[in-house]
Structure 1
Amino acid sequence: PTPAATRTSQQPNLHGRPSTPSAAPFQIILLGDSGVGKTSLLVQFDQGKFIAGSFSATLGIGFTVMLLGDSGVGKTCFLIQFKDGAFLSGTFIATVGIDFRNKVVTVDGMRVKLQIWDTAGQERFRSVTHAYYRDAQALLLLYDITNKSSFDNIRAWLTEIHEYAQRDVVIMLLGNKADVSSERMICSEDGEMLARTSAKTGMNVELAFLAIAKELKYRAGRQADEPSFQIRDYVESQKKRPSCCSFL
């Protein structure tokens, strides 16, 4: 096929999803000296425009994070709250296949790009999701605190993770929908080590992603004689700040 035809067939839709649930993913890396125009080339292809102004080198490192959990636990709302600071209210629409968004955060003075994959929770899409596990460096496994079956199914999700994901993948368990705690079906003892989050209010959403980014950045640059980064200690230290909400 011509280059134009190839581009059309692989271009994601407005929501970042492939044109069909079964579309095969491909990764292309732009290489070359600093200043040759790699970023401008990418923006021209993606947005059809040229970024004018002073040259700014691309800095930092990038990681892939996947959101997992039963359908309806709030994975898409969780992602949009982190990416755009907004909550999707209204009718629930299940994710079909894989959706993704990118966001750059700053960790210890370094820019860290997170490519976040939102996965379908329905059983019929699991075969599609499995193909993406190996490329993820971190997994956020969500359950709904008002839905006990979503909590009970964590064991099944962990079984899939151990079968398909990288051996050293970072896993964080999160109890979402903390804003409706009056309807809570999971007692504090059952979820003692799991963080409470709310995609609606933003409670602990950013903290979860920043903790993951900090852990991944540490692993990427860790020297053999360095002590391990304790993600739990980091989360606990952050929750004591006035801007952070409590964890279980």
Structure 2
Amino acid sequence: MRRTIPERARRPDVKLVILGDMNVGKTSLLHRYMDKKFNNTISTVGGAFYLKQWGPYNISIWDTAGREQFHGLGSMYCRGATAVILTYDVTNRQSLAELEERFLSLTDTANHDCIYAVVGNKADLTDPLADRENYEGVCPVHKPNYACQLIPSGSPTLFSPGAEREVQKEDAVALYQRILRYKAVDEHLSPPAERMCFETSAKTGANVDTLFETLFDMVLPSILRKRSESKASSTIDLEDYGPVTSKQIKGGCC
């Protein structure tokens, strides 16, 4: 016997969109979070949709294509987005520049209070912490759940990087601040850059859960507000319409 899924169980409460150039690991990030494993993925064609249940809430996560020929679709996918993950490759400086040059304008269709995260993927190639399989730890610089997961400059390490780092933490922070200016958002009223600039590894799992779960917690007020507005709009107060007269009744047609 087939079970019917309740309408509320299928309907997304909010939308989260992942943007970024091709080969930065957007799809791999999403697979690591959803499936808890690393897959060698092929380039996304157009976009892909996933639904994540977060407690009693449903969050749709859109994985978008980074290829130039699919660029025009990004604006459509961002329409009504509550959170956007702007993803780059820490070993490729151009991938960070592309976020500002090609992808930021696509977010003009997102909600006015949309939350933005700047995410440097492939940290396992340069970061000794992220090189540990399934690593999820406390950032040594900031508070727990602050997701930069970086070693303080000058810290001793025996780690030998497999690739040269081209994007520093300061570069991502500077981009986040420019995003706020582009969106005309008061920096003092927005989440701090240290909380919204992440470094992850889809290969090892480093900081991936922290990224998504931090954003899920941050969009919770939007979910509650949306449900409250939906509930209010479905309730009709008959007193607002005044008394019904006999003339109004006769004027109806069945």
What is the match of residue 159 of structure 1?
Answer: 105
Give the superposition deviation at 1:119. Answer: 0.2
Deviation per residue, 1:8-42 (Å, 9 max, x gap): xxxxxxxxxxxxxxxxxxxxxxxxxxxxxxx9324
**Change in 2 beyond 3 A, CA 1:186/1:58:** closer
The separation in 2 between residues aligned to 1:78 and 1:191, in whole angstroms, is 18
Contact kept? 1:83, 1:102, Cα under 8 Å = no
TM-score (norm 2): 0.59
TM-score (norm 1): 0.60
Report which of the two structures shows the higher radius of gyration computed on alpha carbons. 2
Runs of 5+ in structure 2 lacking a partner?
A: 127-160, 174-192, 226-254
What is the match of residue 201 of structure 1?
Answer: 204
- Aligned mate of 1:191, from 168, 172, 191: 172
SS for the counterpart of 1:146 is: coil
What is the match of residue 15 of structure 2?
Answer: 64
Give the superposition deviation at 1:127. Answer: 1.6
What is the match of residue 41 of structure 1?
Answer: 4
Instruction: Report matched runs for 1:125-144 at 5 Å.
Output: 125-144=70-89
The separation in 2 between residues aligned to 1:155 and 1:59, in whole angstroms, is 34
Contact kept? 1:136, 1:165, Cα under 8 Å = yes
Runs of 5+ in structure 1 lacking a partner?
A: 1-38, 44-56, 223-248
Q: Which amino acid aligns with 1:207?
A: T
Matched, 1:84 2:84: no
Matched, 1:214 2:214: no
Q: Identify the structure with bigger relative contact order (alpha carbons < 8 Å, sequence gap 6+).
A: 2
CA RMSD of aligned residues (A): 2.7
Deviation per residue, 1:47-103 (Å, 9 max, x gap): xxxxxxxxxx959973211110001100000000010001013xx521000112222
**Change in 2 beyond 3 A, CA 1:150/1:58:** closer
The separation in 2 between residues aligned to 1:136 and 1:165, in whole angstroms, is 5
- Aligned mate of 1:98, from 17, 41, 47: 47
**Change in 2 beyond 3 A, CA 1:126/1:214:** same
- Count residues in correspondence: 166
The separation in 1 between residues aligned to 2:69 and 2:9, in whole angstroms, is 39
